[in-house]
Every structure is written in C-alpha cells, then in structure tokens.
Amino acid sequence: MPDYELSVAEFAQRRSLDFKDLALLRTALTHRSFLNEHPDLPWEDNERLEFLGDAVLDFLLAGYLYRHFPEATEGDMTGLRAVLVRRPTLAGFARQMLLGQFLLMGHGEVETGGRQSSRTLCATFEAVVGALYLDQGLEAVEKLVMPLVERTLVEARVEAEDKDPKSRLQELSQATYGSTPRYRTTKAEGPDHAKVFTVQVSIGEYVCGEGEGPNKQTAAQRAAEDALARRAEWSAPQTPDAEPGDGVT
C-alpha cells in the first residue's frame, strides 16, 4: 500500500472514523500542492469538500445554538456562530486532531510551513467534515464536531459577548461574504454643541443598518447594532471589486 494510503488509514483509525468510502477521506486530506507534484493520481484536491463542510458546520451549529440557547437573540447566535466557525477556531480543532501531520501535501508546501498554516488547517478540517457528511450523514459529523465545540464554547461566548457591535458585524460580514462593512455619514443635524449624526452601514451595495448618535463613532456602533438585529432581513449583497474600508466618512 502506498505511503499516502497508509497515512489516510492511520488518521481514520486514530480518530475512530469508520469511513465506508475511504477515498472520501483521502480527498479531504489532499492539498492541491500534492496533486501538483503527482498529476497522475486520479482524484481531486479537498477544495470542493471544504465548500461542503463549511455549509454543514454552519447548519449544525445553527441548530445547536438554537436548541441550547433559547434566550439568545438572532444577533447573539449569529455572533457566537461566527466565533465558532472562524479560521483560528477551526484551525485549533484541526490541531487537536493532529490533522497537519496526516495531510497529503507537496514537499515545497511542507518546507514553507504548510502543515502548521491556520488557513490550510481550517480548510482541511472543513473538508473532513464534508467527507464525513457524505459518507455517514449529519449525526456522524455531530459526534465528531460537538465535543470540540463544547470544549471551547465558554471562551467563545465570552469573546462574542465582549465584542462591540462593529467588530461583531465585521467578523460576520467577512466570514459570510468576504467583505468589510462600509460606514457613511448621511446626516449631521442640530447646532454645533448638540449635533446628531446619522450613519448608514453597507455590505457591498446593500444598506443593512442605520444609527444616530452625538458623534460619528457612536452612530456607527448603533448602525452596526441595527444591522445585527436585522440580520434575517439581509439579502446576499454583491461584494464590490475593491473592498471598502472600515472607517466612518
């Protein structure tokens, strides 16, 4: 048996992942650099499974948070899920599983630290989730993922609750759309000593929140808070060609 097949089988054994189709797990552990060095191998890299795993994780965690936090608002759950599915968190899960040492990766990528890369580890963890979902369904994914989530949940809740609305909205927007929110002052009314500023926040071309305050910074925080509260109303905004800045103009 080739070394790469042994690596896949060893990972499955260590994690007690009884794959019916081990080729799915092999694909999940295959970085594109490995196939670049072995173009004769007849399978794809893990990027499509990464896409699927990302969606499965979002769905699984949404259901978990809905069931276990009945008093949480939609914005609260969205913020907490964003912390749980962001790159550093998922890369941490991958490190707990020792995923890096089992990756099928090209020599050049290994030499530049690819096995320790948070980007790569996060993507591989999502790919493993996608492969497990295809092989055994959502229950098997839940069995793998939830012990990892529950061990970090207290810390994630503290972090999510401590974030100001602008930070929470930025994290959500970047995780969901790959775009940074843009803040624009639309009105400034009243005398100089008691002005009231109105700020709108947009993601792409979509205006998703508005807030007022005695200064632009306060109005921007309230606009972000409004956007988080109205999250269910958002349509998928178009990401602009040039990513907007985070400042208030």
H/E element holding 167?
helix 165-177
d(CA 97, CA 144): 10
Please name which of 60, 48, 21 lies closest in space to residue 142, comparing C-alpha atoms: 60
Per the CB < 8 A criterion, the answer to whether 74 and 232 are in contact is: yes
Per the CB < 8 A criterion, the answer to whether 84 and 92 are in contact is: no
Per the CB < 8 A criterion, the answer to whether 231 and 78 are in contact is: yes
d(CA 224, CA 207): 11
Please name which of 127, 118, 141, 122 lies closest in space to residue 51, comparing C-alpha atoms: 127
Residues marked as catalytic: 54, 126
d(CA 169, CA 174): 8
Q: Which residues neighbour 195 within 8 Å (Cβ) at sequence distance 6 or greater? A: 188, 189, 214
Rounded to 5 degrees, what are φ and ψ at 188? Answer: -145, 105
| Paired tokens of 48 | 């499509």
What is the DSSP-derived secondary structure letter of residue 234? -
